[in-house]
Amino acid sequence: MKKYLTLENGDVFVGEACGDLAAEIDGELVFTTSMTGYQETLTDPSYENQIITFTYPLIGNYGISLGTNQSDSVKAAAVVVREMTDQVFHYQSVMSLDAFLKQAKVPGISGIDTRQLTKIIRQYGTMKASLTNQPINQTSVEAQSKPSFVKSATLSVTDDKDVEHVVVVDFGVKDNIVKSLQRPGVDVTVVTPDSTFEDIENLHPTGILLSNGPGDPQDYSAFLPTIQKLQDNYPLMGICLGHQLLALANGAKTYKMTFGHRGINHPVKNLMTQDVFITSQNHGYAVDIDSVKPTPLEVTAVEVNDKTCEGLRYPGRPIFSVQYHPEAAPGPHDATKLFDDFIDLMHVNGGVH
């Protein structure tokens, strides 16, 4: 069965349908350079409403396993691959990638030149696209809707004064971020961005984590005053979108990148230590590094290739953020120590003594 990928700039790619054969969708077309981790990528809430192009030519060879999803469902709108295999070689696999997409009612297209498609995205930037079962003259893609906040379940609330308590503000949090925080002596509660400062204060946190999430950080401007209050009262860490929101809350600016950073091999240089480590990234917006200068924040890390802002801190306060994903899933574990650093900050700044 044929499938048609029609780009906003008029280019059309014709391939074979996979996943949900009947489904037709509109979305934002992006690419990721990750060679592995397709299951984590597809279930990452930051990819909500996006059509993901995998640049690696063969996808699906180790199937789908239990306990690997980063949320409760597939968040991507559609999948674009060069080749999707049904021949699965992994002892933990419970189904093929194609079956996983069918189960989630997510369409895909295979058999197209993803190298050419990636070059187009790099030249023109991320763009709207349509995936249809019949050719169309032009995309019918409407402007992307602003992110909606889904109520999150509270994972744990404690009155134990001997336990650190992290409140995660969920803009689209990945499961592995929560798992990276959970350990003996640390409880985690997840709340939504419609929570007020008073709501969060009543949970008696010892630290706040601003999570990753989809979309333009300026769409979350209503929550910025709450961030300003939170940073005045608690140790705070931001990841990806949370990093951008911390910047906005302190007077810096953000901008939309041409094609973003999506992959698991992005080198980042820590300006404090001069160390370089490899990171997992997934974002289409970035903090304007020059706009940080007049704010109370300080840039602590940059992407080695394009010098974009990858880290911030608030000197004199237990506050920092990173643009990349220290929890990986998928990706390298070079930066997982940041969760230990955050817990240490809580411990010495009003937490358990």
Same domain, 25 and 105: yes
Q: Count of CB atoms within 10 A of residue 66's CB?
A: 9
pLDDT value at residue 349: 77
Question: Which CATH number goes with the domain that contains 11?
Answer: 3.50.30.20
CA diameter of the chain: 66
Q: Which residues does the annotation place in the binding site for L-glutamine?
A: 46, 213, 215, 241, 244, 282, 284-285
* Tens-place pLDDT, residues 42-60: 999 999 999 999 999 999 9
77-113: b or e for each residue (b if 16 or more CB lie within 10 Å)? bbbbbbbbbeebeeeebeebbbbbbbebebbbbbbbe
Same domain, 73 and 169: no
pLDDT value at residue 160: 54
Residue 91 contacts residue 66 (beta carbons within 8 Å): no
Question: Which CATH number goes with the domain that contains 193?
Answer: 3.40.50.880
CA separation for the pair 234, 272 (Å, rounded): 23
Same domain, 304 and 200: yes
pLDDT value at residue 351: 54
Q: Which of 108, 132, 156 is a domain's end point?
A: 132
Domain membership flag for residue 14: yes
pLDDT value at residue 163: 83
Average pLDDT of 3-27?
A: 96
Same domain, 123 and 168: no
Same domain, 128 and 199: no
| Residue 32 confidence (pLDDT) above 60 | yes
| Residue 143 confidence (pLDDT) above 50 | no
Average pLDDT of 139-168?
A: 54
Same domain, 182 and 325: yes
Assigned token pair, 247: 């910047």
Same domain, 236 and 335: yes
Q: Which of 258, 177, 186 has the alpha carbon at shortest distance from 212?
A: 177
Domain membership flag for residue 157: no
Return all residues near 94 (Cβ < 8 A) that are at least 6 apart.
63, 64, 65, 66
Assigned token pair, 138: 């032009």
Please give the single-letter amino acid code of residue 295. T
Same domain, 95 and 193: no
* Tens-place pLDDT, residues 296-320: 999 999 999 999 999 999 999 999 9
CA separation for the pair 45, 160 (Å, rounded): 31
Q: How many domains does the chain have?
A: 2
Residues of the chain with pLDDT > 70, as a percent, come to 92
Assigned token pair, 233: 């009262």
Domain membership flag for residue 17: yes
| Residue 152 confidence (pLDDT) above 50 | no
Q: Which of 132, 154, 176 is a domain's end point?
A: 132
* Beta bridge pairs of residue 110: 16
CA separation for the pair 43, 331 (Å, rounded): 14
Out of 67-81, 158-172, 268-282, least confident range? 158-172
Domain membership flag for residue 205: yes
- Summary mean pLDDT of the chain: 91
Q: Which of 132, 153, 187 is a domain's end point?
A: 132
Supply the pTM of this predicted model: 0.82
Same domain, 117 and 176: no
Give residue for tokens 């990171």. 279
Show the 3-state SS of 152-193: CCCCCCCCCCCCEEEEEECCCCCHHHHHHHCECCEEEEEECC
Q: How confident is the model at residue 147 (pLDDT cuts 50, 70, 90)?
A: very low
Give residue for tokens 């391939």. 15
Active-site amino acid positions = 240, 325, 327
pLDDT value at residue 350: 64
Q: Which of 343, 159, 352 has the alpha carbon at shortest distance from 236?
A: 343
Average pLDDT of 180-184?
A: 92
Domain membership flag for residue 230: yes
Per the structure, the complete domain to which residue 196 belongs is given by 164-348
Same domain, 89 and 174: no
Domain membership flag for residue 155: no
Domain membership flag for residue 49: yes
Assigned token pair, 264: 């698991």
Q: Count of CB atoms within 10 A of residue 201's CB?
A: 15
Same domain, 126 and 172: no
CA separation for the pair 40, 331 (Å, rounded): 10
Domain membership flag for residue 138: no
Same domain, 194 and 111: no
